[in-house]
Amino acid sequence: MDLYDFTVTNIDGQSVSLAQYRARVLLVVNVASKCGFTPQYAQLEAAYRKFQGRGFSVLGFPCDQFGHQEPGSEAQIKDFCERNYGVSFPMFAKIEVNGANTHPLYRYLKAACPGVLGSESIKWNFTKFLVARDGLPFKRYAPADRPAALEAQIESLLA
């Protein structure tokens, strides 16, 4: 099993097979519009623009499980991201990343790349998973890890 086995719903409500990202390096992030880490959208977009031509993409998954920091509808989230941060990377429908209703993609990512002390739960918004070209999760990053600080690791996977 790899990331390409999953189907998700994009922010416009359409079903998307992640197989369309085959052979790309991916940064999968649970995002929120009203979080202290929300300004990371700017760095996520910058990394996307810098590396997309070399086979890189950011995949944003809004989540409202942490402090009700993503209360809006998909249309409101899309508008916020485009208007405030010029987000052009793929965004998806709101999902749950913890608990009984954890999206299967996140169940897979968390099992493949556990966090501190082997914990699988997502601690907060803007947890990041770097996925190699083979569709296998490579590394998990904490919410405080700035996207700009991941560029060397992204470069190495693109090489």
Confidence of residue 117 (pLDDT cuts 50, 70, 90): confident
Is 35 annotated as catalytic?
Answer: yes
Confidence of residue 43 (pLDDT cuts 50, 70, 90): very high
Among 35, 63, 81, 113, the active-site one is 35
Confidence of residue 100 (pLDDT cuts 50, 70, 90): very high
Quick one: tokens of 84? 């405030």
How many other C-beta atoms lie within 10 A of the C-beta of residue 28?
23
What average pLDDT does the segment 132-138 reach?
A: 97
Give all domains of the chain, ordered by start, each with its CATH number: 3-16+34-158 (3.40.30.10)
> How far is Cα 1 from Cα 45, in angstroms, rounded to an integer?
28
Q: What is the CB-side half-sphere exposure of residue 47 using CA atoms within 13 A?
A: 26
> How far is Cα 152 from Cα 156, in angstroms, rounded to an integer?
6
Q: Are strands 7-9 and 15-17 parallel, antiparallel or unpaired?
A: antiparallel
